[in-house]
Structure 1
């Protein structure tokens, strides 16, 4: 077996992840032995950060390029459109299965805090690589993985079998967990959720950990949250850790609003106003703290940031409960941003109130927020469960 410090792209990546404290010493043997390349199909679509898109790489045509991306710190799409484009070598409309970038994988394994012998449930098998890493360290008999897509699950089983790690891969909707092998010491999800299934709390032992990418319908952004199950097993609570973005649990995939269904071509009926909030303060990036805080407060509202043109950047808001909409147009010339909104919900007023609460709270970062999940639902909070985040609107 090659040493982590031998000269190749994968060991070099390992050294980089060690320097960033993403790869911890206890996971080095798994990193060295279980390479992502062993779990990837021959045709992959690595993500290009320059173009913000994915492109095809075929192992048969260019094995050097294929291995370079397999060993690179980039996410790789392995399935489009739930497999409906099976056999088609072009990208589809929606990426539906992938191999996460190694830095995210090992950051989550670090934060899971699993120990040898712990029983772990993984939601979202994907290629099987993450399950293999867990199995290498904890023992294959201690790892259960759930995958909703039969073809993806079968491919993962074959890869895990070839690698000598016979993980129990269950083909099912991960929302229900895997009760046949509960309770678990740890549950880790490799897909984003908007509502954390209470079954995951029920299937984790008291004092156990649930690590999940969680987010709001305000956008595609998630943040990992580490929840510890209470002594009585009825609830779980913990803080958010860091921003990420995952494909969503299939039963919770958002239906993206169609602009034409909301906004008439002439904008008729919209009220006009202005706001002194600047684009920089408002946050128009995917991982802005303000964006996360606003999403926690304003329910059933989707945000869409348009490209800047002629010194102006529109940010659109759409209600998921009716056809209310709003747009704020930020300007580079220093003038106040113009707002148009229409419908039963005054969406911009809701978002502006949420932003001001975040501002008056000291502009807290993601790490000051937390989440509690109980039979009654889920509640976000700031600094402690005693201070729930207010719901606006």
Structure 2
């Protein structure tokens, strides 16, 4: 029953906190409950948002459906707040470029960062400003610097924060370079995923400080990385599995199989595989394979040619090697493989899958990364001393 003394806004916030607690398996810590009440989520959303309907983004306008809009603001789900980097939508070509992240992931990150009053925090990816407002409520606005690459988003977030009495430093700039004038920070917290830890983040985080960021691998976007900054300027840490964020704009790579990778003059080698293709692109296996291969990505194509039901494409991020793994629809245990380039990518995928099975099918929590002073990234399983180069 709703407390009659609560406003609809307060009731919605409390309802969201209960839903998050159920999702996390424990109550949200009291300081973050207080921060959520002080920074209601709907206050940070634009009048037009987009919600997912079976993989298709559809607009939802406050002026047209205020009740639906408000319900989406407090649903246990992400909300897309910008599409196409803010450019006008052309037909059905709609893709998300900014969002209010899933509330459970936000609170899990806030807990993982171990933020305390008085700490200095560098926040990468202001976005709507919602989690920025909660962080400022927890540590004090004077201790918070937030960086947003999109000028319009930065201005809107600053205005929304100000309307609630929050005055952190919100800077429009490239999050890759951080913000040196406030350094050193006790914590660097990113709300956009990265494929490499920028050297500036490590340099601007004090020794024994923490960098917390979602991680993106070309093979799979999944994992929350918590790194401890060492006295020697390196950083080392482990993953937890619960995170999926948009990739930092300056680390995006937009490749097309047919426009950038495969050419008509290629003469691939043909072979046969019995490794189920979908087993390697999802779950713990995909996480492991991504960290073994590093610079390899994949995509699916339905009915690419007559006689082929679907095709799994695999390619290097530089476009020099590729593989195509076909299913003709008849034999579920046999796939035709075509490979081209200096690397035999499907052979590498099979080898990485065998490695994962041989090591007990480990989940993300057993993996980690070490970033050396020279920027070299090395991945490892269980023990940082037994690492391999992450290309």
TM-score under structure 2 length normalisation: 0.89
- How many residues are aligned here? 382
Task: Point out where structure 1 has 5 or more consecutive residues left out of the alignment.
Answer: none
2:29 aligns to what? 24
1:319 aligns to what? 316
1:37 to 15, 39, 42: 42
Once residues 13 and 143 of structure 2 are traced to their aligned partners in structure 1, the CA distance between those partners, rounded to angstroms, is: 27
- The yes-or-no answer on 1:236 pairing with 2:235 is yes
Once residues 391 and 157 of structure 1 are traced to their aligned partners in structure 2, the CA distance between those partners, rounded to angstroms, is: 37
1:75 to 78, 85, 102: 78
1:157 aligns to what? 158
Once residues 147 and 90 of structure 2 are traced to their aligned partners in structure 1, the CA distance between those partners, rounded to angstroms, is: 27
2:223 aligns to what? 223
Could you tell me how far 1:108 is from its partner in structure 2?
0.7
Once residues 128 and 279 of structure 1 are traced to their aligned partners in structure 2, the CA distance between those partners, rounded to angstroms, is: 40
Once residues 247 and 390 of structure 1 are traced to their aligned partners in structure 2, the CA distance between those partners, rounded to angstroms, is: 25
Could you tell me how far 1:211 is from its partner in structure 2?
0.3
Once residues 205 and 184 of structure 1 are traced to their aligned partners in structure 2, the CA distance between those partners, rounded to angstroms, is: 6
Please list the CA deviations of residues 287-318 of structure 1 after superposition, one character each: whole Å capped at 9, or x if unmatched.
Answer: x1111211112233211134599995532112
Is contact 1:5–1:12 with CA below 8 Å preserved after alignment?
no
- Aligned residue for 1:384, secondary structure, equals coil
Once residues 118 and 13 of structure 1 are traced to their aligned partners in structure 2, the CA distance between those partners, rounded to angstroms, is: 27
In structure 2, the CA distance between the partners of 1:299 and 1:6, relative to structure 1 (3 Å rule), is: closer
1:208 aligns to what? 209
2:289 to 283, 286, 294: 294
In structure 2, the CA distance between the partners of 1:76 and 1:140, relative to structure 1 (3 Å rule), is: same
Please give the root-mean-square deviation of Cα atoms over the aligned residues, in Å: 2.7
TM-score under structure 1 length normalisation: 0.89
Is contact 2:222–2:242 with CA below 8 Å preserved after alignment?
yes
Could you tell me how far 1:337 is from its partner in structure 2?
2.3
- Aligned residue for 1:38, secondary structure, equals helix
2:272 aligns to what? 274
- The yes-or-no answer on 1:59 pairing with 2:54 is no
Once residues 261 and 134 of structure 1 are traced to their aligned partners in structure 2, the CA distance between those partners, rounded to angstroms, is: 42
Please list the CA deviations of residues 86-115 of structure 1 after superposition, one character each: whole Å capped at 9, or x if unmatched.
Answer: xx6977543222111111111111111111
Please list the CA deviations of residues 212-249 of structure 1 after superposition, one character each: whole Å capped at 9, or x if unmatched.
Answer: 11122224x1311001111x151111101114221111
- Aligned residue for 1:315, secondary structure, equals strand
Question: In the TM superposition, what are the counterparts of 1:353-372 in structure 2 within 5 Å?
Answer: 353-372=351-370
Once residues 42 and 368 of structure 1 are traced to their aligned partners in structure 2, the CA distance between those partners, rounded to angstroms, is: 42
